[in-house]
Amino acid sequence: MATSQVETVSTGADKAKLGAAVALVVAALVAYYFLASRGSLAQWSALLVCLAGAVAVFFTSETGRQLVAFGRDAWREVKKVVWPTRKEAIQITAYVFAFVVVMALFLWVTDKTLEWVFYGLILGWR
């Protein structure tokens, strides 16, 4: 059995980029609340600009590039999925509903039987 070792190397520059992204998110929130007296346009502009900067800085880091690569791989896998036809989807849904009804009836019968055994026969409360 072959095992592959995945080693994540985090450089100082990468850590600095992640720190800058976090700082930009904090700055976005601070700017949003400090610019309340300037109007909502200034508030939202500052918030969106700082958040866009944080996203841009994050995606230049190794972690951001790994996230993008993961997204591409996931999309590639989704393209490989063979989706059921409309007829198959309706049939499978009908099977699930039928199973739920049968299971509900089974549980109801079991509940009533146990109720009769415990309360009717054993305790005699009826």
Place of tokens 């079991």: 110
Region 93-120: mean pLDDT is 96
Residues 6 or more apart whose CB falls under 8 angstroms from that of 61 comprise: 14, 17, 18, 21
Other beta carbons less than 10 A from residue 35's beta carbon:
17
pLDDT at 113: 96
Q: Which amino acid is at 38?
A: R
Q: Where are the alpha helices (DSSP H) in 35-115?
A: 40-60, 62-80, 86-115
Domain ranges of the chain: 12-80, 85-126
pLDDT, greater one: 14 or 1: 14
**Chain-centre distance for alpha carbon 89:** 24
Residue 121's pLDDT band (cuts 50, 70, 90): confident
pLDDT tens-digit map of 23-71? 999 999 999 999 989 999 999 999 999 999 999 999 999 999 999 999 9
pLDDT at 82: 92
Cβ pair 53, 24 in contact under 8 A: yes
Other beta carbons less than 10 A from residue 46's beta carbon:
20
Asked if pLDDT for residue 107 goes beyond 90, the answer is yes
